[in-house]
């Protein structure tokens, strides 16, 4: 009887292949099967062996190539066939990557799992934009939230943003109007500075700025598309962050 393979939940980082961990790069290069998200940069997929089988399970708003339960079953089936499989995710697999669900499913099925952390989208994009998510003079608390989720209007975000705090919103492009309205209704100043980082840490990165009140118009007028993060807080208006915008304007 063939021995089961291992499921490797691998973080691909924010997009630049140079930001992969050594462990991630080695697993990608050696993999026979890679099951990857749609936001994994093609440059990273090109590291795979030419004979590797690449399976896309790309997810878009309201449209999934495979539902999550089917992805879980696919990974388990490959492993039970005696093959190792790299499950490649943008950022870190355990930060809005549903890696926890896949690990739980594998454990329930008795299949071995290894988690390979990656630079999270928030950390990578903010660093590329020179936005320090924490700063002694501006923020000592960072919160991550999902802007595209069930029951967004009913969630309590009070206290997540404001003086001394930074709020990073994943998957918030489509719901930017609701996000701005929600935060202002919870008492956040309409003038709070905001940065939108599109394609963070990639050659096509854009860093766009607004006040919280102007966020919906910014996203619409600049035609912001995923992958993009919304960063809300005083850190987005620091000198180091603004310098990146000035450099991009010159370029």
**Per-residue confidence of the chain (251 residues) as pLDDT tens digits?**
569 999 999 999 999 999 999 999 999 999 999 999 998 999 999 999 999 999 999 876 555 568 999 999 999 999 999 999 999 999 999 999 999 999 999 999 999 999 999 999 999 999 999 999 999 999 999 999 999 766 677 788 888 999 999 999 999 999 999 999 999 998 999 999 999 999 999 999 999 999 999 999 999 999 999 899 999 999 999 877 776 665 554 34
Diameter of the chain measured on Cα atoms: 65
Q: What is this structure's pTM? A: 0.89
Phi and psi dihedrals of 130, rounded to 5? 55, 35
β-bridge mates for residue 139, sequence order? 135, 164
> Angle of helix 99-108 relative to helix 68-80, nearest 10 degrees?
50
Tokens standing for 97?
A: 């990557």
Q: Identify the sign of the CA torsion 196, 99, 15, 38.
A: negative
Active site residues: 37, 59
């Amino acid at each position: 009887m063939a021995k089961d393979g291992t499921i490797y939940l691998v973080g691909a980082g924010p997009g630049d292949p140079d930001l992969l961990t050594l462990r991630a790069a080695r697993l990608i290069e050696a993999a026979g099967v890679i099951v990857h998200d749609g936001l994994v940069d093609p440059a990273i997929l090109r590291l795979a062996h030419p004979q590797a089988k690449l399976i896309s399970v790309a997810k878009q708003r309201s449209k999934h190539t495979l539902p999550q339960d089917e992805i879980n079953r696919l990974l388990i089936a490959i492993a039970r066939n005696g093959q190792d499989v790299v499950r490649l995710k943008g950022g870190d697999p355990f930060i809005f990557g549903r890696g926890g669900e896949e690990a739980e499913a594998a454990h329930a099925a008795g299949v071995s799992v290894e988690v390979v952390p990656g630079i999270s989208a928030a950390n990578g994009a903010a660093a590329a934009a020179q936005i320090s998510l924490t700063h002694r003079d501006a923020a000592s608390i960072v919160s991550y939230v999902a802007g595209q989720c069930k029951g967004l209007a009913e969630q309590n975000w009070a206290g997540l943003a404001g003086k001394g705090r930074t709020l990073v919103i994943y998957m918030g492009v489509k719901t930017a109007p609701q996000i701005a309205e929600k935060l202002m209704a919870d008492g956040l100043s309409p003038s709070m500075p905001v940065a939108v980082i599109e394609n963070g840490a990639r050659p096509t990165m854009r860093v766009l700025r607004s006040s919280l009140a102007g966020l919906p118009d910014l996203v619409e007028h600049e035609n912001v598309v995923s992958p993009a993060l919304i960063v809300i807080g005083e850190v987005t208006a620091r000198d180091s962050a603004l310098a990146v915008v000035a450099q991009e304007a010159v370029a």
